[in-house]
A = this chain, B = another copy of it.
């Protein structure tokens, strides 16, 4: 039986469902909790969204999210200007930063190429990336797009841009994940891990 909620609650539930990973049931639970005993938290969230929308903008160099003209990474003189890592979102950038391994700069695309959905090079900022490729001192581009059809298409497009400029291209290694049980790894990944095998150290 469908229960009719008041219009404002229904509207809030529909809005919350737009959050990644939130379905109808979670959105309902969130909305009722916020309006029931958590009104202060609800007001905080609305305020935080408003403030972030006002203050946060893309970094003028790499398109990462920041509050100044350039982001903290681009403003960091100690980083290596010879390496540029191309990712599809600010979340991918942060995920790579968390490793602590990469000390170069980034370029953040606004998603991945997807001709089926009508998403072309201009929609994801590839023209800006092309300009960036002409900056002096750039020696290596690391293609860190998703391991999907769209990720591969985007990587292929960037590879052509880089090859025109004779910049070295690398991509993330594929293989067995840390802690992964061999029986649970899919055969394509395992195939990549086999052909990319390394001397046992």
Per-residue contact bits, chain A 52-72, to B (CB 8 Å; 1 contact, 0 not): 111110000000011100011
Given the complex of chains A and B, what is the CA–CA distance between A17 and B34 in angstroms? 12
Chain A 30-58, CB-CB to B under 8 Å as 1, else 0, gives 11111111110111111111111111100
Query: Does residue A164 face the partner (Cβ distance < 8 Å to B)?
Result: no
Check A53–B49 contact: CB distance below 8 A: no
Contact B52 A9 (CB under 8 A): yes
Cβ of A27 to closest chain B Cβ, rounded Å? 10
Check if B18 sits within 8 Å of A38, measured CB to CB: yes
Cβ-defined contact, A42 with B46, below 8 A? no
Answer yes or no: A156 CB below 8 A from chain B CBs.
Answer: no
Dominant SS at the A interface? Answer: helix
A26 at the interface (CB under 8 A from B): yes
Taking the complex as formed, is A1 at the interface, i.e. its CB lies under 8 A from any CB of chain B? Answer: yes
> Which one of B1, B2, B36, B53 contacts A43 once the chains associate, using CB atoms below 8 Å?
B53
Query: A100 near B: Cβ within 8 Å?
Result: yes
B32 touches A65 (CB 8 A): yes
Interface with B: A89-97, A144-152, A167-175, A180-188, which one? A89-97
Q: Does residue A111 face the partner (Cβ distance < 8 Å to B)?
A: yes
Give the contacting residue for A89; candidates B1, B36, B52; CB below 8 A.
B36
A101 to chain B, nearest CB (A): 9
CB atoms of B48 and A15 under 8 A apart:
yes
Interface presence of A114 (CB below 8 A): no
Sample (9) of A-B pairs whose CB atoms are under 8 Å apart: A4-B72, A5-B65, A8-B56, A20-B29, A21-B29, A32-B65, A35-B52, A43-B49, A46-B50
List 15 additional A-B contacts (Cβ < 8 Å) besides A1-B98, A33-B91.
A1-B100, A6-B66, A6-B67, A8-B54, A9-B56, A12-B49, A14-B48, A19-B33, A21-B30, A28-B91, A29-B91, A34-B52, A36-B89, A36-B110, A43-B49
